[in-house]
Amino acid sequence: MTQPPPPCSASWPATRAGAVLRVDLAALVRNYGHVAGLAQGAACAAVVKADAYGLGAAQVAPVLEQAGAREFFVAHVDEGLALRPYVSPQARITVLHGPRPDAVEACLANGLRPVLNSLEQIGWVQAVARQRGTVVDAVLQLDTGMSRFGLSEADIHTLANDPSAFDGLSLSLIMSHLACADNPQDPANAMQAARLRAYAALLPPAPLSLAASSGVFLGPDYHFNLVRPGAALYGVAPQTGQANPLEAVVRLQAHVLQTRQLRAGDRVGYGLTWQAPGPCRVATIGVGYADGFARQGAALGCAWFKGRRLPVVGRISMDSMTVDITDLPAGELEADGMVDLLDATHGVDAVAQAEGTIGYEVLTSLGRRYHRVYDTAGVAHPGS
Ligand SMILES: *Cc1c(COP(=O)(O)O)cnc(C)c1O
């Protein structure tokens, strides 16, 4: 039986947390539909590693399965074990890093499909297959240029010349991963696709997979038999410098904890690094670097209120930051109000730009102490 997802919001009231993180599951489903539609002809898996990029795999995966995803990818065996109860028994869970020797049993006993990234790893899994007297369904990962995971060209030739190389294994996918897919002009993309084709021709026939989110947007030459999007499902822009065709999935609203009037020359925050240039009003809000808003984002960071930009002033503290609300009409935003840190038009990529990082890191850094609300409007929510 599939375990119903945990309740849609924590049982403690929103007002006890510093901020409310809303996850729009209908937008998630539309993003999945958009990506799967682009990759027509290939199956569309869903990557839900790192707790679905911080959004909650137990909530996100069942909704994606309902939307048509039949395959899920996680990084570690532990993540696969945690996910297993939340998707149907038919749903396939693949472990990108594959198991280390002491985790092969747990991986196989729980129906997790291992990715085999090295000759050693192939050996570990074959040893257990032999003990169990079974054939293990597995994925082979090939290194086509990123030098991170997968079999090297030399490994591939070793396997190709060994008639017993795949004893005890049934290869249901051969995959690789693109290093530069966010830039369609990068010649590494076509080089990696060509290597995947050439290497796979040396190995037993199996479906092929190369594209993650950005790779899907490179076009049909990159789709092969299965695409593996993660970030795009959660609203991250797939191509740098291009308009983002995906919808924001998260909205983060922070509580205003205190407001105050400053005189010219008053200073704000640790180190007193910011000085009021004239009379101004500031608000302190309940989100800080412990909640995923990096200190180095302070200079360019901001919150939003009714379409107006409220710049961060001074350093970001662990549990709070202070924003300039001078431009708001008096009385419009008081203690107990809320401001947006992420919304439909100012999303994780905008915050990433202020922090000098990428949307992926902003998403996966979002704090664990937000009050989370899973918005199910328009979604046939499993378990309900
Ligand atoms: C993380 C990951 C993905 C998903 O990548 P996105 O860019 O988030 O779509 C796909 N394949 C592999 C091997 C990964 O590590």
Assessment of whether the complete model's pTM goes beyond 0.85: yes
Q: Is the pLDDT of residue 12 over 70?
A: no
For ligand 1, mutation pick of 34, 49, 96 (most atoms within 8 Å of CB)? 96
Instruction: Indicate if ligand 1 lies below 6 Å from the C-beta of 230.
Output: yes
Structure-block tokens of residue 30: 């539309």
Band of residue 13 on the pLDDT scale cut at 50, 70, 90: low
Model confidence band, residue 241 (pLDDT cutoffs 50, 70, 90):
confident
pLDDT value at position 384? Answer: 45
Would you say residue 274 has pLDDT above 80?
A: yes
CA–CA distance, 304 with 321 (Å, rounded to integer): 13
Sort strands 308-313 and 321-324 into parallel, antiparallel or unpaired: antiparallel
Q: Assess whether the C-beta atom of 228 lies below 6 angstroms from ligand 1.
A: yes
* Predicted confidence (pLDDT) per residue in 251-263, tens digit: 999 999 999 999 9
Measured between alpha carbons, how far is 237 from 214 in angstroms, rounded to an integer?
A: 8
d(CA 164, CA 124): 15
Mark 297-321 as b/e (b = at least 16 C-beta within 10 Å): bbeebbbbbeeeebbbbbbbbebbb
Q: Tell me, using a 6 A CB cutoff, whether residue 39 lines ligand 1.
A: no
- The DSSP result for 32-55, as a single string, is HHHHHHHTTTSEE-EE-HHHHHTT
Tell me what pLDDT residue 381 has.
59
pLDDT value, residue 6: 63
Coil, strand, or helix at residue 16? helix
For 47, phi then psi, to 5°, come to -90, 120
Distance separating the N- and C-terminal Cα atoms of the chain: 14
Length of the chain equals 384
pLDDT band at residue 87 under the 50/70/90 scheme: very high
Q: For residue range 169-214, list pLDDT tens digits in order.
A: 999 999 999 999 999 999 999 999 999 999 999 999 999 999 999 9
Mean pLDDT within 314-325: 98
Pairing of strands 208-209, 267-268: unpaired
Active site includes 306? no
Predicted local confidence at residue 10, as pLDDT: 47
Work out the average pLDDT over 229-247: 96
CA distances in angstroms from 162 to 116, 171, 200, listed in the order given: 17, 16, 15
Question: Which residue in the list 53, 199, 222, 270 is annotated as catalytic?
Answer: 270
Distances (CA, A) of 52 to 46, 73, 198: 9, 10, 33
Is residue 175 within 8 Å of residue 207, measured between CB atoms? Answer: no
- Which atom from ligand 1 is nearest to the alpha carbon of 229? 9
How many Å is the Cα radius of gyration of the chain? 24
What local confidence, expressed as pLDDT, does residue 341 receive?
98
Structure tokens of 46?
A: 């869903």
Atom of ligand 1 nearest to the CA of 49: 1
Domains and CATH numbers, the chain: 25-234 (3.20.20.10), 250-346 (2.40.37.10)
| Torsion sign across C-alpha atoms 201, 202, 208, 213 | negative
Mean pLDDT of 300-306: 96
Q: Is 270 a catalytic residue?
A: yes
Secondary structure of 175-232 as H, E, C letters: ECCCCCCCCCCCCHHHHHHHHHHHHHCCCCCCCEECCCHHHHCCCHHHCCCEECCCHH
Rounded to an integer, the average pLDDT of 112-118 is 98
pLDDT at 162: 97
324 CA distance to ligand 1 middle (Å) = 38
Percent pLDDT > 90 in the chain is 91
Task: Please check the confidence at residue 155 and state whether its pLDDT lies above 70.
Answer: yes
Count other C-beta atoms under 10 Å from residue 52's C-beta: 29
Q: In angstroms, rounded to a whole number, what is the distance separating the alpha carbons of residues 20 and 317? A: 18
Looking at every residue in the chain, the average pLDDT score rounds to: 95
Asked if residue 232 has pLDDT above 60, the reply is: yes
Binding residues for substrate: 148, 318
Q: Confidence band (pLDDT; 50, 70, 90) for 1?
A: low
**97 CB near ligand 1 (under 6 Å):** no
pLDDT (average), residues 149-163: 97
CA distances from 321 to 187, 190, 238, 310, 360 (A): 43, 45, 30, 12, 22
Confidence check: pLDDT of 109 > 60? yes
Report the distance separating Cα 74 and Cα 143, nearest Å.
19
Helix 153-160 to helix 119-132 angle (10° resolution) is 40
Q: What pLDDT digit, counting tens, does each position of 339-378 carry? A: 999 999 999 999 999 999 999 999 999 999 999 999 988 8
Please choose, from the candidates 179, 169, 80, the residue with its C-alpha nearest in 3D space to the C-alpha of residue 132. Answer: 169
Residue 166 CA to residue 298 CA, distance in Å, equals 53
Report how far ligand 1's centroid is from the alpha carbon of 86 (Å): 21
